[in-house]
Structure 1
């Protein structure tokens, strides 16, 4: 007999007693009960100790887990191999999210290993490999830097099976490997064995006709294989002069192979990558982690639950601008924020795209693209599961949605109204063959029965009419219920008196066909039915199961129908998977291009939401901003006051004046020194300039009416001091480290932001360090970076320590002073505090030329609730110090002093009186002493007088 559709079901023989595990009458009473169970692992539920409801719940959890994995906000999970020798650094890192390998050519580093720190901070690795033979100073610097890095969220770790070794970690792991693992020859050999699965875009589409499809497919395979070989060979040749980088590649690939083997992957020695690329430092802006956190580009917040170690993005630039829809779009957005572009062409391409998406006549296109982007899942993870033979509906549905979304987005982008070519859209359209995608999408829809698959716990289901043999199996399976009822009836009629009054015939996948009777009939004696040729199988709570001759015949002629149907469906799924595998490279390429479009749409949405404008980019070292705003502060303030900025090295450039009264003395300069009252907005102004420069380089619009931004290779900051017990440094030492790093690495194309450098130590030393910093930057001349500095050391300008005629711009933040002792009101630049009085300020937050002579610290203290008696005493002490009237600080009555204080005061008074009474003689006496040739005696005599003066016991 041909096999029939399989199920685990029980057929009644006509007895009034209920039969288990699952009878036809039970199914009739419960229409929601499962009628079909596909897959070899689905055996009768009652005998496995769990119910259909438990099985459905497990399947639901599996589907939800898969959905979470596909839709997770995947961050780049990087495994970094890095080493150093004789002052040079080489590194190689694996981005698991994109399954790509990146290299950095051997680079000469500074004595403080600044380049190493920048590499680690920009990659934010989760696992680091290094050589035990590396320079000792390098290893110490690497350990110190890794100790300060945040660990990527655990959600990203769960997205890739190969990252199980890195889960549940509180900090970045570092592993020291023997020097032999970092040999360049071993690295070159390991790279030569890598299989690159990502096909070249130029070969992605085929114009072949159907008649020549097979021949063209073979030619395509040969061309693709040869292209990959040539590309890998070219890469290995370019790395010949980079032994450190080659060694790092070998160590990383060896580690990856070992990790996969430990995870049970028998093919772990075969490394498949989507791409291998060289990373050029001259193509990205270098910005360290201190700057990223100080400028609030990233801001991690702890989870609301005290038991959770997870973090989320707080109020940050990435939080308000990185609103991508797809998982890989969010990962690419984070890459753009960590590594801003430094290529003018790339930046302008992004600005063109954002400008195009902001056009009103393109709004319907943007809405269509956003809607379809929601269907794009984590394609690399999805394809990895599919290639491993997954029959889960979530994976197949995700691939179909990707194909559908790709076609819809392509058609929508073709209707864009544009002023400039949108490179991202053109690259996306060229990344795949639309006809091939449509055919594959139709094939998936024609083969997979989506509705039935949802009913069958999300398993792969094939539509009727796809395969005749499978349809025949299902048709005969549909008659299995009545057939087994007849078999049960035949067995019942053959029984003699005294034997079971009722029985059922059931089918279990992998166990076959069995006769089932109740336990009461069984009576605990398996041998009771041996005379009938029945062989006892097993006993459940309600049923005893036997196998007789008829059941053996059914096993022989009908067989295990469940396995037959499952095997046929797996065969169809594998055939379908071959078509998916043929387009795997294009699917990955398309997803990457969609991620870029997703980021650009996010920038456009943020620009529309926050009224950001397009900046003008130039190669010149210039920074001109008109009505600039802080992108985060303006969200927290009801009214935000914009300000202008002009940092220009070339005097011939057009001038953009600072907001405020016209001042003919205002001149163009690459340095602005900002003073003003506390709480007047100096730090916000410094940060907004840095953020506007940063935003323009990632391709985003900026919060300003207009901006002309020169390419900036590095943004250096000394803004905030992030103290940590793990750093082993004081707050002032951290400030010095930040300034030292900035001065060592700044270039004429850099931007330097310094906020109150020198405040962490004694006032005179801090002022001296600040003056030294200013003079050092000015002496650099044309090599100096564009600099913005805020300080409260106004006295260095008032006392002439730093001349106001030096080539920098002095500016201040305006405040309105309500002086109780004056008739009118004056600005902070001309007001002075009087003894015992505290001025009331109105902060205007406007940038104006000139120097502020007071920080108005007492007024700021009064705003934040310092008690009036403290403020009054502080004002009096300030007045005494500023007018050199220290005697006023002495108590009026000496009895108010303690005994030791009175004694010290009396001794000081006696010394002073004796000094005033001392007759040193006139100039004539001194000349006579020198004429007599006795200078030594004179010095000795002076020493004796001073000793006697200080010796009160001889008085």
Structure 2
């Protein structure tokens, strides 16, 4: 195989969740390495990328998968013709292989229950547990195997778990006991930053606010980076922007094009309101094929097609008037490539044929009938004209029938002027409608004779009304009986022809929607840049990270702005210099916010957005790892510290020199000594990598680490702290010192945690704070901690005992037992021994009380 040929794998398992538009995939590499991935895939770009990159011999998917998504795979579980589905797929699918092989990858649908997270967990545990039993150096229980699995494949990646389950189910059926998996690793997405769900939560990129009803409901976006930047005007634009946020890019060309487009929009910001108003016309046209397959396009489909086509034409005209070139606005090149002539003809055709007002009436909408405008078809206009004159015909016929019955000697007396009508009932035709008399059983025969004599043939009656056929009604049936059916048939024929025209232009509509959605995203990011005074970052192919005057955008929205700097792996410096920043500082001084600020700035640069800083240079970052948010789970047997260890494990195993790692207070969930040891070992692990050490920012309260020369003196580590202003009180003033947090990171070391000031700010009772201060001072001085309510006599007794203990200890150290007898020591210190033998106060001692 040539070097430029795509890697080929025998089997690829894929799943897709339509609600969240998330793709999960799994495949077996080299027979023993199982790789997985989960990524947002709004327009199936990642699916096509995986097909091209892996070029599998077979694709397996769940049988209950969505038909539109299955069309991108080349098969459908609905029994549709595969060739038809492939014709409707994006042309980019066939670009993967010039010979057309990518479009003909066979697809096999498996049982839906095999594609589940629980199925994957059971199968993987059995495989790993069985392998562990054969390994003398690694003996794991099934529960320990499950915990280890969740370290390698986070439980939050549900679609990846589902794909793994389907893959293993298929492999175990095919291989029958020959399956052996030694490694479980993520698939490295080409030119896409790897970012786990917990990272999105840690950096407040997406934050769901659950529905307040106890009965549940769809969650809404809470205040987050996404809600701050989501200024899109259309649903397709919002979906595309969300995919940018879920899948940051590593393509420098793409990022440069987005930044240049944002810069152009900002330079024409006086036109921004007009562009955003027009962008509201962008509709989702991807469901047109599905509607057609279900029986025909609906009124909403025609509205979406017309609105999108017209929006593409008007938007291009507005951008040309604003002197937008393909160099300054990348979407102009794509917009110019969309067939404007075809879209104009399509929009004119839809607007000229479909009567949106008539089709939107309640009865027509309920029947899903599309009405055709006048002057579209001569025969339809003639039928409508005849139908319009039908009311006059019915009125005159009713008058003639009334007069005929009055002339008839057997005219029913109950048929009054305002109670006789000629009506038309579908499939029954025209009939005379008038009230039925109240007839006693013995009179029924005579009444029937009256009806027959008057030429009235009773068809049926309901609610006191009788419906009769007459000679006049029969003649109306012959002349007008099927006029409505003929009108509907002719309209359906015209609409069906229009449907075919719309489907013939579906590729142009989809291209127009795609480019307009991208433009909507550019307008949204430009709006955010203007509102929050963001600047264009310089994204480079390197590992450096240089931020000047950066701030947290969510705090800027809350009017709490404090800019900070961050400089790691600066160009021109040794590769190992300043790859790690260890941040210490008081509680509530802004350490976590600083870490999130760096992470968010790096993240925004990789979606092509402007960033919150005075200036920023960001090297391409292949992944962002965090240890910031711990979520306990009783069902998963995961404590807070176990969750912390899982995140650190992923960070150490998968980070590279291009990764960004953010570690916040690691080790606080366990014994302090163990926590310090773990944090020290982790930091040393990263520093020992040398040039391969990722860019890492860690904050901690374990200032004991600053006393370890083997850590703080290592090259590549810089020590920073959060700046505070401290106003000392006099000795006569027993209140706490005044502390002002400046929320600014500077080189240096922390002077203390100032936990008592935080307690005071949290309105903790003053007595509790005073006691905490007292206990801290006693322990720092090495003195015992006593109960607060002991008497003065107890205190005096304890002081005597402590003095006797010190005297006895010093005497013992000075006594020469080699030349003197032990009895002499006892006699000399008998008083001290007597004092110590006295009963001690019940609550005196060295324990906390």
TM class, shorter-length: 0.7 to 0.9
| 1:609 to 2:531 alignment | yes
Aligned to 1:297: 205
What secondary structure is seen at the aligned counterpart in 2 of 1:310?
A: coil
Aligned to 1:591: 513
Post-superposition offset of 1:94: 10
Q: Which moved more, 1:401-410 or 1:836-845?
A: 836-845
Aligned to 1:505: 422
CA distances 1:366-386 after superposition (whole Å, capped 9, x unpaired)? 333322221122211255325
| 1:445 to 2:372 alignment | no
Is residue 186–residue 250 contact of structure 1 (8 Å, CA) maintained in 2?
no
Total equivalences in the alignment: 704
Aligned to 1:233: 100
Residue among 289, 301, 309 paired with 1:395: 301
Is residue 676–residue 854 contact of structure 1 (8 Å, CA) maintained in 2?
yes
How far apart, CA to CA, are the structure 2 residues paired with 1:339 and 1:853? 41
Aligned to 1:767: 676
Post-superposition offset of 1:327: 1.1
Is residue 721–residue 747 contact of structure 2 (8 Å, CA) maintained in 1?
yes
More relative contact order, 1 or 2 (CA 8 Å, 6+ apart): 1
How far apart, CA to CA, are the structure 1 residues paired with 2:770 and 2:38? 62
Post-superposition offset of 1:924: 12
Residue among 375, 382, 385 paired with 1:465: 375
How far apart, CA to CA, are the structure 1 residues paired with 2:644 and 2:81? 43
Pair 1:429–1:783, CA change in 2 (3 A): same
Post-superposition offset of 1:409: 0.7
How far apart, CA to CA, are the structure 2 residues paired with 1:374 and 1:855? 52
What secondary structure is seen at the aligned counterpart in 2 of 1:505?
A: strand
What secondary structure is seen at the aligned counterpart in 2 of 1:426?
A: helix
TM-score under structure 1 length normalisation: 0.66
How far apart, CA to CA, are the structure 2 residues paired with 1:864 and 1:767? 27
Pair 1:684–1:128, CA change in 2 (3 A): farther
CA distances 1:50-89 after superposition (whole Å, capped 9, x unpaired)? xxxxxxxxxxxxxxxxxxxxxxxx9643474646673323
Aligned to 1:167: none
| 1:551 to 2:461 alignment | no
Aligned to 2:270: 363
How far apart, CA to CA, are the structure 1 residues paired with 2:754 and 2:225? 31
Is residue 197–residue 585 contact of structure 1 (8 Å, CA) maintained in 2?
no
How far apart, CA to CA, are the structure 1 residues paired with 2:610 and 2:39? 31
Residue among 375, 382, 385 paired with 1:475: 385
What secondary structure is seen at the aligned counterpart in 1 of 2:424?
A: strand
Aligned to 1:868: 766
Is residue 651–residue 668 contact of structure 1 (8 Å, CA) maintained in 2?
no
Post-superposition offset of 1:489: 3.6
What secondary structure is seen at the aligned counterpart in 2 of 1:717?
A: strand
How far apart, CA to CA, are the structure 1 residues paired with 2:75 and 2:500? 37
Post-superposition offset of 1:592: 1.3
Aligned to 1:631: 553
Residue among 629, 638, 646 paired with 2:567: 646
Residue among 18, 25, 35 paired with 1:89: 35
CA distances 1:105-139 after superposition (whole Å, capped 9, x unpaired)? 7999xxxxxxxxxxxxxxxxxx99599xxxxxxxx
Post-superposition offset of 1:650: 4.8
CA distances 1:567-604 after superposition (whole Å, capped 9, x unpaired)? 11111111112211110111112111111111111100
Q: Which moved more, 1:490-499 or 1:582-591?
A: 490-499
| 1:726 to 2:635 alignment | yes
Post-superposition offset of 1:342: 0.9
Q: Which moved more, 1:675-684 or 1:434-443?
A: 434-443
How far apart, CA to CA, are the structure 2 residues paired with 1:348 and 1:370? 22
Pair 1:907–1:540, CA change in 2 (3 A): farther
**Mind listing any 5+ residue stretches in structure 1 that lack a counterpart?**
1-73, 109-126, 132-156, 164-181, 203-223, 240-245, 256-278, 655-666, 824-833, 926-951
What secondary structure is seen at the aligned counterpart in 2 of 1:367?
A: helix
Post-superposition offset of 1:488: 2.8
How far apart, CA to CA, are the structure 1 residues paired with 2:63 and 2:427? 52
Post-superposition offset of 1:615: 0.3
Aligned to 1:3: none
Residue among 414, 418, 433 paired with 1:516: 433
CA distances 1:615-637 after superposition (whole Å, capped 9, x unpaired)? 0010110100010000112222x
Post-superposition offset of 1:463: 2.3
Aligned to 1:570: 492
Is residue 678–residue 857 contact of structure 1 (8 Å, CA) maintained in 2?
yes
Post-superposition offset of 1:876: 1.5
How far apart, CA to CA, are the structure 2 residues paired with 1:701 and 1:531? 90
What secondary structure is seen at the aligned counterpart in 2 of 1:282?
A: coil
Post-superposition offset of 1:890: 9.6
**Mind listing any 5+ residue stretches in structure 2 that lack a counterpart?**
1-17, 55-59, 116-186, 821-836, 838-849
CA distances 1:837-891 after superposition (whole Å, capped 9, x unpaired)? 5322111111111101311111111111111111111112111222323377898
What secondary structure is seen at the aligned counterpart in 1 of 2:528?
A: helix
Aligned to 2:606: 697
Post-superposition offset of 1:800: 4.5
How far apart, CA to CA, are the structure 2 residues paired with 1:95 and 1:367? 29
TM-score under structure 2 length normalisation: 0.74
Is residue 90–residue 105 contact of structure 1 (8 Å, CA) maintained in 2?
no
How far apart, CA to CA, are the structure 2 residues paired with 1:763 and 1:371? 57
CA distances 1:159-207 after superposition (whole Å, capped 9, x unpaired)? x9989xxxxxxxxxxxxxxxxxx9x9999x99976722457779xxxxx
Aligned to 2:156: none
What secondary structure is seen at the aligned counterpart in 2 of 1:748?
A: coil
How far apart, CA to CA, are the structure 1 residues paired with 2:286 and 2:568? 45
Aligned runs of 1:249-288 on 2, under 5 Å? 281-288=189-196
Aligned to 2:145: none
What secondary structure is seen at the aligned counterpart in 1 of 2:205?
A: coil
Residue among 859, 866, 879 paired with 2:757: 859
What secondary structure is seen at the aligned counterpart in 2 of 1:396?
A: helix
Is residue 672–residue 809 contact of structure 1 (8 Å, CA) maintained in 2?
yes
Pair 1:75–1:710, CA change in 2 (3 A): farther
Residue among 323, 327, 330 paired with 2:238: 330
How far apart, CA to CA, are the structure 2 residues paired with 1:725 and 1:745? 27
Aligned runs of 1:898-913 on 2, under 5 Å? none
Residue among 759, 762, 777 paired with 1:879: 777
Pair 1:232–1:566, CA change in 2 (3 A): farther
How far apart, CA to CA, are the structure 1 residues paired with 2:387 and 2:243? 54
Pair 1:822–1:193, CA change in 2 (3 A): farther
What secondary structure is seen at the aligned counterpart in 1 of 2:712?
A: coil
What secondary structure is seen at the aligned counterpart in 1 of 2:321?
A: coil
Is residue 82–residue 128 contact of structure 1 (8 Å, CA) maintained in 2?
no
Is residue 775–residue 785 contact of structure 2 (8 Å, CA) maintained in 1?
no
What secondary structure is seen at the aligned counterpart in 1 of 2:291?
A: helix
Pair 1:890–1:429, CA change in 2 (3 A): closer
Is residue 519–residue 544 contact of structure 1 (8 Å, CA) maintained in 2?
yes
Post-superposition offset of 1:90: 5.8
Residue among 21, 31, 34 paired with 1:77: 21
How far apart, CA to CA, are the structure 1 residues paired with 2:80 and 2:452? 66
Pair 1:97–1:777, CA change in 2 (3 A): closer
Pair 1:508–1:908, CA change in 2 (3 A): farther
How far apart, CA to CA, are the structure 2 residues paired with 1:641 and 1:889? 44
Is residue 22–residue 38 contact of structure 2 (8 Å, CA) maintained in 1?
no
Pair 1:190–1:445, CA change in 2 (3 A): closer
What secondary structure is seen at the aligned counterpart in 1 of 2:220?
A: strand
How far apart, CA to CA, are the structure 2 residues paired with 1:533 and 1:740? 95
Aligned to 1:44: none
Aligned to 1:348: 256
Aligned to 2:129: none
How far apart, CA to CA, are the structure 2 residues paired with 1:794 and 1:848? 16
Is residue 504–residue 515 contact of structure 1 (8 Å, CA) maintained in 2?
yes
How far apart, CA to CA, are the structure 1 residues paired with 2:458 and 2:319? 69
Pair 1:101–1:852, CA change in 2 (3 A): closer
Is residue 224–residue 554 contact of structure 2 (8 Å, CA) maintained in 1?
yes
Post-superposition offset of 1:729: 1.2
| 1:318 to 2:226 alignment | yes
